[in-house]
Amino acid sequence: MRLLVNVNKKSVIPLVLLPVWFLIYNFLKPVTDWFIDDALGMTVGNHFTEALRFFVFEVPKVLLLLTLIIFLVGIVRSYFSPEKTRKALEGKSLFTGNVLASMLGIVTPFCSCSAIPLFLGFVEAGIPIGVTFSFLIASPMINEVAIVLLFSMFGWKTAAIYVVSGLVIAIIAGWVIGKLNLRHWVQDWVYQSQFGNSDSESEKLKFKDRIQYGYNAVKEIVGKVWIYVVIGIAVGAGAHGYVPEDFMASLMGKSAWYSVPLSVIIGVPLYSNAAGIIPIVSVLIEKGASLGTALAFMMAVIGLSLPEMIILKKVLKIQFILTFAGIMAVGIVLVGFIFNYLVFL
């Protein structure tokens, strides 16, 4: 009995909620069908019926998946910190460092508004700029919200392709930046300043703190993106029955080779979070755009953002930023071509 009393209430909640989650998730399809066909008594096959069915099913499904994954990612992230990542990267050789930095970029909690302190902290620890860039590229590009949305809309293969190509771009772009030796295009004051060594005191978190961390992540991220998810799915549902299937085929289909570079050029200045862009991408694909083109467009939108480049302007000269954007654009275009021409799906 004592044990029960000592258990923190909040850490028990997930244990209760998890079965409930699976129950709802599994019954979503029959409940939706019952609601549309029997409760509302709508005609099966009708455009409006199917659009509504799509919307009523997809919104709770995507939100359920988002909540679960972001909660789990939140718990995983509580084991990582920029300080620990820096320690792990110190003294790594160029290529190994790029691989490790790209992978750590996925799990380390990081927001692009912290790009400057992170950059300076890495530079100070002697981590090569190329390795730092692998981190800075992977972190926004491989985004958990994007993974959930791609998984729920296109299946696990597409989600996996997205993660792998994001990693490959981050590794190679970082490695190229390292090889180009662009140090002279870093703002002069960066290497002149000395901030002294940081004392990375690592506080031991209890597991219930980590669960709290997961809760906070859900509150923060789902609270912010749910509206984009709803709007995106509504647009998708609207396009479902009404826009002709091959509407985008001539513009963004496989046969139009220029579509990949064109989507990247359009995508770079656009900036949106993953939740806003992916439902749009799903409509594009449904209407005849090829996967490579759509993926390239999406990566250009979420991976290369004007606000982040403006932030980086404080530590990097404009030539560096342009080179960085150029390498990224080329990398994304290549990924787009590879998926358009070589791959199965």
Partner 1 sequence: MEIKILGTGCAKCKSMERLTREVVEKNGIQATINKVEDITEIMKYHIMATPALVVNEKVEIKGLVPSEAEILQVLSKY
**Minimum Å distance from CB 221 to partner 1?**
12
Question: If we measure between CA atoms, which residue out of 231, 276, 232, 222 comes closest to residue 63?
Answer: 222
Cβ proximity to partner 1, 216 vs 250, nearer residue: 216
- C-alpha 31/C-alpha 36 separation (Å) is 9
**Minimum Å distance from CB 193 to partner 1?**
6
Cβ proximity to partner 1, 156 vs 195, nearer residue: 195
For helices 9-33 and 207-242, the axis angle rounded to 10 degrees is 20
**Minimum Å distance from CB 197 to partner 1?**
8
Cβ proximity to partner 1, 194 vs 255, nearer residue: 194
Largest CA distance in the chain: 72
**Minimum Å distance from CB 161 to partner 1?**
30
Report helix, strand or coil for 317: coil
Cβ proximity to partner 1, 11 vs 81, nearer residue: 81
Cβ proximity to partner 1, 33 vs 209, nearer residue: 209
Cβ proximity to partner 1, 72 vs 125, nearer residue: 125
DSSP character string of 61-84: HHHHHHHHHHHHHHHHHTT--HHH
- C-alpha 286/C-alpha 281 separation (Å) is 9
**Minimum Å distance from CB 215 to partner 1?**
11
The helices-and-strands tally (H runs, E runs) of the chain is 17, 0
Strand partners, 186: 316
Write out the residues near partner 1 by the rule CB under 8 A: 81-83, 86, 109-111, 113-114, 116-118, 120-122, 189, 193, 195-199, 216, 220, 311, 314
The token pair at 209 is 């703190």
Q: Using CB atoms within 10 Å of the CB of residue 208, give its burial: 0 to 12 exposed, 13 to 18 middle, 19+ buried.
A: middle
**Minimum Å distance from CB 41 to partner 1?**
47
